[in-house]
Amino acid sequence: MLSKKTKYGIKALVHLAKQEESSPVQIGTISLAENISQKFLESILLSLKKTGFLGSKKGKGGGYYLLKDPKDIPMTTVMRVLEGPIAMVPCVSLNFYEKCADCPDENTCAVNKIMLEVRDSTLKIFKNTTLHDLCL
Amino acid sequence: MLSKKTKYGIKALVHLAKQEESSPVQIGTISLAENISQKFLESILLSLKKTGFLGSKKGKGGGYYLLKDPKDIPMTTVMRVLEGPIAMVPCVSLNFYEKCADCPDENTCAVNKIMLEVRDSTLKIFKNTTLHDLCL
DNA sequence: TTTTACCCTACTAAATCTATAGGGTATTAG
DNA sequence: CTAATACCCTATAGATTTAGTAGGGTAAAA
């Protein structure tokens, strides 16, 4: 299941991507428009800033804005920053790989096998979908 | 992320599907072979019995056994019983649908849109993979 | 210089996960 | 018959994660 953090984060990014001018949007504006707790959204936007998706401007007329063209932001990067691994088990994760404690051999593991397939098909979708595509 | 319950459940089902004879297999045997806590496995197998996947035999020489041919058990049904919804958000779930509290309109929701795609591709894999396929 | 709006830390209630504990009961081998 | 086997069932609990809340600090601009 997708965490609220990820869901809200995507919604906020889409909100920003939909702006015609690239002028900063305030947290309060987004939280109101997308029905998100303002303080919670604040922490999400902050992490999106730290990971290089957003820029910010302080003071009056300030807010957050996208640093890149929405067409250049694939959903893989968004998902990995907000949600973490895309795979359903760590042993098939590309960016968050971990060996399973209980599993003696990944190559003969039935779970590994099918989850690898699922990861590939999901990854394909996220790779071929940009933030811009979500705005249509 | 896949819960241990689901992971262990699949491993146990595969273990049973690999049996040549359909004689019952004891919990202890499975827990030892698959490195799963026996008591935890017990509760998982019990739930698989209640949902119609397994039969059991008490007393000496007893254990659990599959009720159907592994070729007739698609992973969709396994996943739904063990893990719950296949979709990443309730609003795109077929069997566990729930409306999002924050979202005014699903049809224009960006998250809904992409998660629907992911659900479809994942579902397709689970539908076309049976327990038997995992034994190869 | 005051207001605005981002920045940061710490904490917490609730839920879920991953078991463990401790026994009860039906079945069957001998 | 009876004793061992192995499933059946309930309750509980520690750990982790989630989804926030509280409370203030700081930089920038009007």
CB–CB contact B110 A11 (8 Å):
yes
Residue A112 to residues A1, A109, B39, Cα–Cα distance (Å): 19, 5, 24
pLDDT at site A6: 98
- Count of CB pairs separated by less than 8 Å, A with B: 80
* Structure tokens belonging to residue B32: 């030892």
| Average predicted confidence (pLDDT) for chain B | 96
Q: Which of B2, B114, B122 sits opposite A129 (nearest CB)?
A: B114
Confidence of residue A97 (pLDDT cuts 50, 70, 90): very high
pLDDT of residue A21: 79
List the structure tokens of B136.
Answer: 């190869």
Chain center to CA of B92 = 19
Model pLDDT for residues A7-34, shown as the tens digit of each residue = 999 999 999 999 987 789 999 999 999 9
In this prediction, residue A86 carries a pLDDT of: 98
B20: confidence class by pLDDT, cuts 50, 70, 90: confident
User: pLDDT at position A22, please?
Assistant: 74
Chain B contacts in chain A segment 67-96 (CB below 8 A): 75, 85, 88-90
User: Residues of B with CB below 8 A from A34's CB?
Assistant: 102
Residue range B58-80: mean pLDDT, rounded: 96
Higher model confidence: residue A21 or residue B90? Answer: B90
CA–CA separation, A117 vs A120, rounded Å?
A: 5
Taking 90 as the threshold, does the pLDDT of residue A37 lie above it? Answer: yes
> From the CB of residue B135, how many other CB atoms can be counted at a distance below 10 Å?
15
A19, A25 contact by CB (below 8 A): yes
pLDDT for the residue numbered A50: 95
Confidence class for position B23, pLDDT limits 50, 70, 90: confident
pLDDT tens per residue, range A122-133: 999 999 999 999
CA-angle at A103, arms to A101 and A105, nearest 5°? 130
Domain boundary assignment for chain B: 4-66, 73-134
Looking at the predicted structure, is the pLDDT value of residue B35 above 90? yes
- A74 pLDDT higher than 90: yes
Contacting residues of A for B98, CB less than 8 Å apart: none
The region of weakest confidence among A18-32, A109-123, B113-127 is A18-32
Q: Is the dihedral of CA A4, A7, A10, A11 positive or negative?
A: negative
Predicted confidence at residue A85, as pLDDT, reads: 97
> What pLDDT does residue A23 have?
87
Cα torsion A118, A119, A123, A125 to 10°: value is: 10
Residue B22: per-residue pLDDT: 74
The CATH class, in words, for B4-66 is mainly alpha
Instruction: Please give the full DSSP string across chain A, using - where no structure is assigned.
Output: ---HHHHHHHHHHHHHHT-SS---B-HHHHHHHHT--HHHHHHHHHHHHHTTSEEEE-STT-EEEESS-GGG-BHHHHHHHHT--SSSSGGG-SSS----SS-S-GGG-HHHHHHHHHHHHHHHHHHT-BHHHHT-
Structure tokens at B14: 């595969």
